[in-house]
Amino acid sequence: MGSSIQDDHCENPSGGRKSHHSEQVKKNLVTRLNRIEGQIRGIRGMIEKDTYCDDVITQIASTQSALNSVAKILLEGHLKSCILERINEGDTEAIDEVLVTIEKLMKK
């Protein structure tokens, strides 16, 4: 039974893993990413217009913060769904996967 839960939620029919966010969470993430995309275009425009460097850096910091927020939402959902399911099924390698992911997020 535990395996079928994982199959229903964390794997797609071709055997690879997939996320399983609600439509509301997906909409929230897409909205945030669209906003971030706009911020990136704004940064490019600031550079093209020779905007004062500190103002550009401030906008970059804001964009990085927004990306971190998206990553936090994704990580929380991942921990509460796929990782929890895998651990409950005895797959302790899921912990190592999360540690590697957190390490990637913390590199700057």
Based on C-alpha coordinates, what's the Rg of the chain?
18
Q: What is the mean pLDDT of residues 33-53?
A: 98
Secondary structure class of 11 (helix, strand, coil):
strand
Domain ranges of the chain: 21-106
Buried b (16+ CB within 10 A) or exposed e, 1-33: eeeeebeeebeeeeeeeeeebeeeeeeebeeee
Tokens of 49: 């217009």
**Homologous superfamily of 21-106 in CATH?**
Metal-sensitive repressor, helix protomer (1.20.58.1000)
Closest CA to 8 of 89, 19, 29, 49: 19
How much is the pLDDT for 40?
98
Q: What is the reported pTM?
A: 0.79
pLDDT band at 108 (very low <50, low <70, confident <90, very high): low
Give the tens place of pLDDT for each residue, 58-100. 999 999 999 999 999 999 999 999 999 999 999 999 999 999 9
